[in-house]
Structures are given as C-alpha cells and as structure tokens.
Structure 1
C-alpha cells in the first residue's frame, strides 16, 4: 500500500468568530469550518492550501496570519473589495456555541490549483450563492484526479429553505468519498430519520465512508460493510468551537498516513475493518477532545496526538 503524502486543497469560507460569553470581553478568533480544517491539517504537518475569501481588513489580516502560521497556503480567486465574514459566537453555561452570522460568499470560478490529491469542501461555501456554484464546479473538475471529503456543518440561518439546501448537500455527498456530519446536522436535514437510515442513504449516493459525530456521546463510522461506534474521550470542556473541524482534519491526517486518500485510495476506504474504524474514531475523537479543552478553534499538533 502506498504511503505517499497527499497535498490537500480545502475550499470554503473563513470567518472571524467573535466569542461572547457573560462577564467577559469579546474575543475574536480565526474561524470558519473549512478554514479550521485547513489550519488543523497544517498543524498536523500536512501540506495544505485553502481557497477562501478574506477582506483587506483587520480581521482578514488576523485570519490570514493565523492560517499562514500553520503553513496554510492562500490562493486567491482574484475578487477584490470583499468583506471578511464574521460570526458572533455565544456560549451557554456548558460551553456549547451558538452563531449569528454576517457572511457573503462570492467565490469566482478559478482554474484548479495543481497537485491536489485530496479536496475538502465545507459548510456555507457549498450552499450559499453566488459562490456555491463556483465551489461545486471546481469540485467537479477536480474529482477525477483527487479523493473528496465533505462536511455540511449546517448553519440553518444561512442554508435557506431546507428542501433546496438538502438538494445541494446531497449533490456534494454524491461527489464525495468521505462525508462527516454531526447528529445536529442530520436532525435539520432529515427530521425524524435515524442516523443509520441517513448513513445508508448517503452511502447509496456514492461515498465509501460516513462519519457521524455526537458531541459528548462520541462518534460512529458507517461503511457498506457495517457500523462501528466509539465513545468520546473524557475532557473538561472550555468551549466546543471547532471540535468537529478538528475531528475532520485528524480523520484526513490518519487516512493520509495510511495511504487511503487520493484517487487510488478510494476502494480501500470502503474496506476498512472494524479495528481500523475504531482506531480512526479514537484518533479523531482525541483531536476533538483536545480542542474543546481550550478556547476557540485551536486544534492539536501532531505531537499532542501521540499516545501518552
């Protein structure tokens, strides 16, 4: 089995998360689900580029410096005059995050960057016009030569009418080899459906592997061969910002380490054994547990994920 290191391209939004909690001053953190995944991959030592939109403003410069500090490359779509998206993040007493967005996504069609063995698409960028069409068009062009992952990371306030949003989500699912979603995502997209039913439906659309995260209740992996579950790693929660994104980047890191990404890795994803899937869930779950133990979307480094 090959163990060559794939190059990652992440497509999607960057957002300045302004964390607001009672009795504390507002704290701006670089965020946005796709940006967090790219940053997490960079922190884990993976070569990664993020196709996003950042304004020439204070928070845009903050996010760009943050991403570059992890080695993330920032190709541009050539559009000028954009405003960096923001989100007011409010934390409840248990550290769970709620979001109020000010975001515009206007990605332009661009030539695909060379050398991407794996492409990850996330969240608002896949559903919010006018940029969603450019993002999906780019994904379709890259799909023949790269493996693909997708995280809907549903934001109801920005996804529009559920039926239209679901159609876009399922288009992305059908283009993907790996899909990760939370139990909350599924509840909004498919009211009344069980996780098993959703996973089987998505596997029927094309992916080889579906991962569902459940917050403090752990996560599950679904393949055509069966289902594996893993408990969450115990930790003291500071906040949950970026937990799912850390899970995603660690998942991609683990699969890359086993040579399971890139177009030649697709068949092996569906053939992962229960032991393989358990190890994957535990590795990604550890990344999420480390992230929720500190403020903001601060995923672990490779050294922090070493068995201790």
Structure 2
C-alpha cells in the first residue's frame, strides 16, 4: 500500500517553503500510552493517554509558556487526530507535523509497586518512524534549540532524517538530546550505546537517566561516562536519578541537587518534564548560544537543577504525563536568575 504524506502547509504549493520557525523545535514520536488494569474474569481495561517523550517535551514547554513547535510523523487515523488536537489546545505549533496514512504507535504501560513504568511498544512501520530526509523542513530562521530523543533517534528511517537535520542546523542552533532507552523497541543495548555515542558529538546538551546508563553501560561510573561525553563535544551533561535528584556535569564543574519528596502516583512523563524545564531554564538563563552555555557557573547549574527537579516532582504526583504549567512554578522560575 502506498503511503501518502502531508504537512500542515499542504494548502500552499510547496510544503517545504521557508517560513518563521519556533524557539524550540522538538523532534520525535507522538503516541498513545495504554495503562492496563485487570478486570473481572479474563478482561483487561485500558486507560489511553496521549504520550511519547518528544510529544511530552513540546507540551511541557508550551505549558511553561515557551514558543515550541513539533516535527514528527503523526497518523491521519482517529488517534492521530487526537494528538494534533491536543497540540492545538496546548499551544504547540503544528506547522511542521507530517501527517501520513501510517498508524499511530501504541505503548502498553505496566507499573511496578513503586509507580515506575515498563513499556511494550506496538509501532512497527508506524507514522512516527516513517519520516525521511525528504520530509525535512526548511527555515528562514533556525530554532534556538533543536531537541531529539527516544527511539526515533535510533530506528530507521526517521533516525537518519533527524541526524541530517541536526547536521544541517547545528552551526546556528543548540542541539539537545535525551537517549531515553527503550529496550522493548530495540533490545540490543550495544546498538543503543553506539547510537548514543555517535550523536553526542553533534549535541550541546545531553540529559540521561541513571537507569538508561545502567542499561547501555552497566557497571561504569556515571561520572566517567559524563566526562567522556563532555570530551566528545557536549557542553553540558545532566544525569537524573529519579527521586534522588540530578547531577550536572560541565567543564570543570560537577553539581548535584536532591530530589523532592512527593506522594508518587506514577513517574510517567517525569523525565520529559525535567527535559522541558531544563530547556526553558537554559533560555531563561540566557544560554541560547554555545559561548553562554559553556560559561554557566556552578550556582546557575544548581538553580537550573532545582527548577527541573521541582517540575518533575509535580508530574510524579499526578497520573500519566500531566506536566506542570508555569503558574505552578512561579517561585522556582523567579529563583532561576
């Protein structure tokens, strides 16, 4: 079956025409998380929630009142329509969304006793994976920040498209990367590690969880990995540790901030919340170019971590990826500067 593509600019003759872009362009997947609950007898009930790590990051930035757009494949099916409607309601630009006839990825989420999620993905040849180099947008002005992450940074053909976009734009935009390892999408941890390390030299800011590092580099000290990535070219590496907070590594700097105790409903979207808050916080600190990013001091990084940890804690107190709004973080936002 031939799959057709369209973007939000199909009404104009050239869908690749140049136009104004957005301060944050988030690239990756948009999907539905299905939370399963055992019912009576053999039945299982599902609570379907909009998700996908990059989708959540874009939504989180919009809720923090930042100018954000999304580039990725979204299906024309009924679930894809809901995804686009959600972006509209949250204020995320749909200008670069690629609509196709491929289906929407489904992610089955099962939580352990601590609320930590495990994911099983149903997404082979789904809309979020079937983005090609020919689908890349053109910009009059590049975004200040370009963010990629999760399995769309690994699986083909979308990963090659995103890599080409980064290589094309990195001379005049900051690049952010969250590996967000998903073993149920690709079980080969060596492949995840090779892909991560091939992207780090193209990246300015890397945010990674200690759980992800334990999967791709078991037994290796976090500090060793972070310093190695700095040596590859990243300016800032941040390692999150769930409820225990986060650590930031920069040239000659290592700072850590503790977690915030909350009653955890689940941790779905917590890392994405941290990522959105991190990007918004960097802009608030004026780190919108490589010189300022490299010059951030320990005090600024401590405040940045506090802001991102506080935002993630709010998400953990709610079910699913219900990211906080700027109004819920005014005190923390003011303390950043």
Which runs of 5 or more structure 2 residues have no equivalent in the other structure?
1-21, 333-337
Paired residue secondary structure (1:19): strand
Q: Distance in 2 between matches of 1:256 and 1:70?
A: 20
2:54 corresponding residue in structure 1: 34
Which has the bigger relative contact order, CA under 8 A and spacing at least 6?
1
Deviations 1:196-223 (CA, angstroms, capped at 9, x unpaired): 0110111011111100001011110001
Whether the 8 Å contact between 1:53 and 1:76 is mirrored in structure 2 is no
Residue 123 of structure 2 is aligned to residue 96 of structure 1: no
Q: CA deviation at 1:274?
A: 1.6
Please, which of 134, 150, 175 is the counterpart of residue 123 of structure 1? 150
The number of aligned residues is 300
Q: CA deviation at 1:76?
A: 4.5
Q: Distance in 2 between matches of 1:50 and 1:204?
A: 30
Q: CA deviation at 1:164?
A: 2.7
Whether the 8 Å contact between 1:112 and 1:138 is mirrored in structure 2 is no
1:8 corresponding residue in structure 2: 24
1:3 corresponding residue in structure 2: none
What does 1:32-181 correspond to in 2, within 5 Å?
A: 32-76=52-96, 80-103=100-123, 104=126, 105-109=129-133, 110-115=136-141, 116-181=143-208
Residue 297 of structure 2 is aligned to residue 269 of structure 1: no
* TM-score after normalising by structure 1: 0.93
Q: CA deviation at 1:113?
A: 3.7
Q: Distance in 1 between matches of 2:113 and 2:219?
A: 28
* TM-score after normalising by structure 2: 0.85
**Cα distance change on mapping 1:248 and 1:88 into 2, 3 Å:** same
Structure number with bigger Rg = 2
Q: CA deviation at 1:271?
A: 2.4
Q: CA deviation at 1:268?
A: 2.3
Which runs of 5 or more structure 1 residues have no equivalent in the other structure?
1-5
1:301 corresponding residue in structure 2: 325
What does 1:173-252 correspond to in 2, within 5 Å?
A: 173-252=200-279
2:10 corresponding residue in structure 1: none
After alignment, is 131-140 or 266-275 more displaced?
266-275
Greater strand proportion: 2
Deviations 1:134-169 (CA, angstroms, capped at 9, x unpaired): 111111111111001000000012235333322221
Q: Distance in 1 between matches of 2:113 and 2:194?
A: 35
Q: CA deviation at 1:22?
A: 4.8
After alignment, is 267-276 or 119-128 more displaced?
267-276
Whether the 8 Å contact between 2:181 and 2:192 is mirrored in structure 1 is no
